[in-house]
Amino acid sequence: MFSFDKDLWHVGRTMQEPRQETPPTPHTNRSESPTSAVGADVPRELPNELSAPYEVPQFPIEQIEKKLLIQRQLNVKAAECGQSVRSFGGSEAGAMTFEEAVRLRGEEDEPEVVLPHFQRVSISGEDTSGVPLEDLQLASSYLVQALEIRKRYMAMSNQSFENITDRFLRSMDAEAMANHTPHKVPKTNIADHDVHPPYTKDRDPWECPMPAPKGWTIKPDKGVFNCYTTVDGKETRVPFQYVTLAEYIQDKYTMCNMIADGPLKSFCYRRLSYLSSKFQLHVLLNELRELASQKAVPHRDFYNIRKVDTHIHAASCMNQKHLLRFIKKTLKTHADEVVTLHKGSPMTLKAVFQSMNLSTYDLTVDMLDVHADRNTFHRFDKFNAKYNPIGESRLREVFLKTDNYMNGKYFARIINEVAADLEESKYQNAELRLSIYGKSPGEWAKLAKWAIQYDVHSDNVRWLIQIPRLYDIFKSNKIMNNFQEFLSNIFTPLFEVTNDPNSNIELHKFLTHVVGFDSVDDESKPENPMLDPDVKSPEEWDDEDNPPYAYYLYYMYANMTVLNHARKEQGLNTFVLRPHCGEAGPVQHLVCGFMLAENISHGLLLRKVPVLQYLYIACGEFSRKLHNFLKYRAKMGKHFGELAKIRGIISYKLSPHEQRAYAGAISNGLPNIFRRFRESVLKVAPPFIIAYLVYEGVEREHHRLSRKNPADFANDQ
- Residue pair 43/67 in contact (Cβ under 8 Å)? The answer is no
The Cα 388–Cα 75 span in angstroms is: 67
Backbone angles phi, psi at 17, to 5 degrees: -65, 150
- Host domain of residue 710: 685-717
Is 135 a member of any domain? no
Percent of the chain surpassing pLDDT 70: 63
Give CA–CA dist 430/312, Å, rounded. 7
Say whether both 691 and 670 belong to one domain: no
Q: Do 640 and 527 fall within a single domain? A: yes
C-alpha torsion angle, residues 680, 682, 683, 687 (rounded to 10): 110
Contact 401, 387 (CB under 8 A): no
Q: How many domains does the chain have?
A: 2
If one compares 511 and 368, the residue with the highest pLDDT of the two is 511
Cβ pair 467, 518 in contact under 8 A:
yes
Mean pLDDT in residue range 713-717: 38
| Whether residue 387 sits in one domain with residue 328 | yes
Asked if 628 contacts 198 with a C-beta cutoff of 8 angstroms, the reply is yes
DSSP helix/strand/coil, 624:
strand
Query: Is 110 inside a domain boundary?
Result: no
Cβ burial 661-693 (10 Å sphere, 16+ → b, else e): ebbbbbbbbbbbbbbbbebbbbeeeeebbbbbb
- Residues 499 and 636 grouped into a single domain: yes
Q: How far is CA 107 from CA 164, 181, 483, in A?
A: 10, 10, 48
- For residues 642 and 708, state if they share a domain: no
Is residue 498 pLDDT above 90, yes or no? yes
Sign of the four-CA dihedral 469, 474, 476, 477:
positive
Q: Are residues 706 and 626 in the same domain?
A: no
Residues 455, 516 within the same domain: yes
Q: Is the pLDDT of residue 614 over 50?
A: yes
130-147 pLDDT tens trace: 778 888 888 999 999 999
Under 8 Å between Cβ of 623 and 633: yes
Q: Taking the CB of residue 4, how many other CB atoms lie within 10 A of it?
A: 14
Q: Spell out the residues 6+ positions from residue 25 whose beta carbon is closer than 8 angstroms to its own.
A: 40
Does the structure show a pLDDT above 80 at 661?
A: no
pLDDT of residue 310: 83
The predicted structure's pLDDT at residue 28: 40
Domain-embedded: residue 619: yes
Nearest Cα to 462, choosing from 625, 670, 633?
Answer: 625
* 690 and 576 in a common domain: no
* List of E strands, 22-129: 113-114
How many whole angstroms separate alpha carbon 344 and alpha carbon 66?
A: 75
Which helix (DSSP H) or strand (DSSP E) does residue 348 occupy? strand 345-348
Are residues 714 and 663 part of one domain?
A: no
Residues marked active site are found at 602
Q: 691 and 558 in one domain?
A: no
442 in any annotated domain: yes
Q: Does 557 lie in the same domain as 694? A: no
Q: Write b or e for each residue in 178-207: b if 16 or more Cβ atoms lie within 10 A of its Cβ, otherwise e.
A: eeeeeeeeebeeeeeeebebeeeeeeeebe
Q: CB–CB of 711/688 below 8 Å?
A: no
- Residues 455, 582 within the same domain: yes
In a domain, 481, yes or no: yes
Q: Which of 660, 669, 662 is nearest to 693 (CA)?
A: 669
- pTM of the complete model: 0.73
How many Cβ atoms sit within 10 Å of the Cβ of residue 22? 9
- Whether 334 maps to a domain, the answer reads yes
In a domain, 351, yes or no: yes
Write the pLDDT tens digit of every residue in 192-230: 555 555 565 677 889 888 999 999 999 999 999 999 998
Tell me if 508 is assigned to some domain: yes
Q: pLDDT digits over 253-309, tens only?
A: 999 999 999 999 999 999 888 888 888 898 899 988 888 888 888 888 878 888 888
